[in-house]
Structure 1
Amino acid sequence: METIETSDASLRGQAEIWQHMFSFADSMALKCAVELRIADIINSHGGSITLSQIASSIGSSSPNISYLSRVMRLLVRRKIFAANHDSRGGETLYGLTHSSRWLLRDSELSLAPMILMENHPWLMAPWHCFSQCVKEGGIAFKVAHGKEIWDFALQNPEFNKLFNDGGGIGEMLSEIVKSYPHIKGINFDLPHVIATAPKYDGISHVEGDMFKAAPQADAVIMKWILHDWSDEDCVKILRNCKEAIPEKTGKVIIVDVVLRPDGSGIFDETGLVFDLLMLAHTTGGRERTEQEWKKLLEEGGFPRYNIINIPAFPFIIEAFPQ
């Protein structure tokens, strides 16, 4: 009996290694679905449709339906799409799921631009440099491309657009102002980012460098900013934010990951993956536990903070200078 149990455990271990080895296949199938706008095609029909109907809408005069069916088979297995098989032998009907609705391009909560960005060869290349960086040190993105990500974006308009489509041009601020019109927003970023930012009602775009100074405001909100930088750099940013807000009534709102390595929340594993994402793409960036955030905020001049757990990814941290 012990031999059988050991054998079963070994087989499970082997199966897990195979699964991890080819987990990139899920990402590539997902990227394919986004590039072909499959979720949008299904959504535009108002209900489940056949593979032939999907193929006829992808913008090709000679689509390879065999390719498409095999990609869709995996995505259905992963519950990205739903498949309803006709018991009478008719064509299978494909529909949306709670997951595929996050792939809709025109949705306010779409993850489609980020999928295209994170799975682009430019951003995948640094992941292949991890072992070299463990042995020799260095910055993975720079090892892969010869320059750090911000310089790469500055010198490469195509990459800059890809990066900004994933965020950074004032979309979050525009939604806040849209919901609360009495708020006037300032979208503050580097010149090459501001140059591509669209016009939004109630928002002014300001060029600058957060390491030098920040515009005066009642509050500063930073989404997925501080995780890009080392502790030393974050302290500089936070101190500049402190100088920009009222001492008694001002606050900094940080939208970022709070790592819980042993947590069982639905996004806790995603947080660990994001920490490796910071290794791949940033210079000293990292995701942080609550204790690491506490230390960082105190050094940056914010001794009081409040973590707001929201039913979303990531978290919200309110930090106060008094």
Structure 2
Amino acid sequence: MEANQSVLRGQAEIWKYMFSFVDSMALRCAVDFRIADIIHSHSGPITLSQIVSSFPSDDYSSPPDITSLARIMRLLVRRNIFTATAHHSNGEDHTLYGLTDSSRWLLHDSELSLGPIVLMQTQSWLMAPWHRFSQCVKEGGIAFNKTHGRDLWQFMSENSDFNKLFNDGMECSAKIVLKTIISEYKSVFDNITSLVDVGGGTGVAIAEIVKSCPHIHGINFDLPHVIATAPVYPGVSHVQGDMFKCIPRADVWIMHDWSDEDCVKILKNCKKAMPERNGKLIIVDAVLEAEGDDLFDDTRLVFDLVMLVHCPGGKERTKIEWEKLLKQGGFSRYNIIKIPALPSIIEAYPQ
């Protein structure tokens, strides 16, 4: 009997993983409709009719299908994204939907929100390459390139809508990580007077650091088409360029999704750009533990496959892989600081 139950559980697991994309798309619906924001604006659980009545009327040529939404919400309640409570009033039974610790991360107007990166990762431009996943295992190559005929970075430079979607997604995740670092690990910025965010996007990360540590002069360094959309931040200079060629001189902060060979080139350029004495490289990136039981260990493994599909040579790395990479790039000493977030902090020092 126990053996039969084990086999049955195995079958159930396959069904669950087969349709896990439905969870992602239901989550996207919640973000698209700003359901968490609507509930939050009422300061408590509300009915489905109240949710629908708060949808912008200009966005719909006909009334929203409340029955379809009810079925989506039923799954999201099952996934603990929202709560559902039975309520009786005026002689009728209603279901009241409320927020959970998960749905609070979907609030658009919150300082810290994962909403933009949910929209980014579930957008068809990034979903389509997954259909080339098996083909890339057989033939090699990058699924994104095979799907769109160019790499991620070129696609961004040619598509302003995708460029904004991508930058919004990166900004929201950077804010969350920076909030943790600045509130609990601010000492990593001690004795730093100038800081370059290499591949810093529109500059939100370096801006948050400079805001908290005003003694630091921040430099946001990225490609021209990215810098062109970057807003002005106090204490931050935007510099356009190519990190494979040259990086502005300063203590350096770097985040990247590149192959080992490309990372070594970037690290060597970082070393050249650093002060001769007391220079420090700060990397904020995942450190994989395949058998780990940290809250984010499972997501780190998933992110490794996201890199495999979207980025040429991109991958998440184990501690041993980071050590090898840093040594090849000219950084013989390093220190990994685990933080309560998806990435870790890696402090590296030149030989």
Range into which the TM-score falls when normalised by the shorter chain = over 0.9
Query: What is the aligned partner in structure 2 of residue 241 from structure 1?
Result: 270
SS at match of 1:237: helix
Give the partner amino acid of 2:202: I
Determine whether 1:183 maps to 2:216. yes
Cα distance between partner residues in 1 of 2:159 and 2:6: 49
Tell me which of 285, 305, 313 is aligned to 2:334: 305
SS at match of 2:87: coil
Determine whether 1:221 maps to 2:253. yes
Query: What is the aligned partner in structure 2 of residue 274 from structure 1?
Result: 303
Give the partner amino acid of 1:240: N
Q: What is the TM-score of this pair, normalised by structure 1?
A: 0.95
Cα distance between partner residues in 1 of 2:21 and 2:228: 34
Cα distance between partner residues in 1 of 2:298 and 2:26: 21
Cα distance between partner residues in 1 of 2:215 and 2:40: 35
Determine whether 1:205 maps to 2:238. yes
SS at match of 2:277: coil
Query: What is the aligned partner in structure 2 of residue 171 from structure 1?
Result: 204
| Contact preservation (8 Å) 2:88, 2:94 | no
How do residues 1-322 of structure 1 correspond to structure 2 at under 5 angstroms?
4-60=1-57, 62-86=63-87, 90-167=93-170, 168-217=201-250, 219-223=251-255, 225=256, 228-322=257-351
| Greater CA drift, 291-300 or 307-316 | 307-316
Cα distance between partner residues in 2 of 1:172 and 1:153: 20
SS at match of 2:97: strand
| Contact preservation (8 Å) 2:221, 2:239 | yes
Uncovered stretches (5+) of structure 1, i.e. residues with no partner = none
**Cα offset for 1:235?**
0.5
SS at match of 2:93: coil
**Cα offset for 1:87?**
6.0
**Cα offset for 1:280?**
0.9
The alignment of Structure 1 onto Structure 2 pairs a total of residues equal to 315
SS at match of 1:32: helix
| Contact preservation (8 Å) 1:248, 1:321 | no
Q: What is the TM-score of this pair, normalised by structure 2?
A: 0.87
SS at match of 1:317: strand
Q: For residues 30-89 of structure 1, give each alpha carbon's deviation from its aligned partner in whole angstroms, at most 9, with x where no partner exists.
A: 001011111111112222221111111121361211111111111111001112222675
| Contact preservation (8 Å) 2:157, 2:163 | yes
**Cα offset for 1:103?**
0.7
SS at match of 1:116: helix
| Contact preservation (8 Å) 1:247, 1:321 | no
Q: For residues 292-315 of structure 1, give each alpha carbon's deviation from its aligned partner in whole angstroms, at most 9, with x where no partner exists.
A: 000000111111111111111111
Give the partner amino acid of 2:238: H
Q: Which runs of 4+ in 1 moved over 6 A?
A: none
Give the partner amino acid of 2:36: A
Uncovered stretches (5+) of structure 2, i.e. residues with no partner = 171-200
Cα distance between partner residues in 2 of 1:74 and 1:268: 25
Equivalent pairs: percent with the same residue? 66
